[in-house]
Amino acid sequence: MPGVIQTLFGFSVPHGRLPECIASLQDAMRAMKETRYHPVVDLDFLHHLDDASQLIVDFYHACSEKRPLGAMYFEMNGFTVNPDRWYFNGFGYNQSGDIWDLTWNTDWLNPWDAETEDFTLTGMETVQSAFADLYCDDQQPLSVQVAGEVAEHLIVARFNELICAAHRVAKESCPKLEGFPILSTAHEWDMLCPSQ
């Protein structure tokens, strides 16, 4: 199952099919026996949309005052093993690589030229509690472990959904963000979600 999930996520997200990826992950969760991870099916981070879009605009302006900004990257923390607080940071780069290059040469993402403060993500506390109690427990039944894997992918997809939606809203008040490259994912995830 994790191989299938990885393939779905890896193909759909970089190809601009994030909504389809989310729907498929939700369907996968619904097809499984109910676990404490299952509330994730009906949750998202979109209640942060206004604040996240303002963060993008403010960060762009703050960085651009010093020198031209080439790209932004937003990363959610390692949420599976840090369930007490979920958050993300933004990073600014003076130059950008090709965010649509599917060979994923992301060497340019380190080091960064600017950074935001932490932005706390709320609304999934019941799922955070499930990760706190179940994720590192290898004695859980396989069905619970697989549900945790699917939930993990769905959470990252929902985070990417927030950043893509915030980018769209940010363009309305800051036209310079039209076509501006933004990437997002979670800490130590190889699959990046591009937005322009």
82 falls in which pLDDT band (50, 70, 90)?
very high
Question: What's the burial of 6, exposed, middle or buried (CB within 10 Å: 0-12/13-18/19+)?
Answer: middle
Nearest to 28, CA basis, from 2, 63, 59, 55: 2
The reported pLDDT for the residue numbered 130 is 96
Q: For residue range 106-132, what is the model confidence (pLDDT) as tens digits? A: 666 667 888 999 999 999 999 999 999
What pTM does this model have?
Answer: 0.89
Q: Give 120-176 pLDDT, tens digit per residue.
A: 999 999 999 999 999 988 899 999 999 999 999 999 999 999 999 999 999 999 999
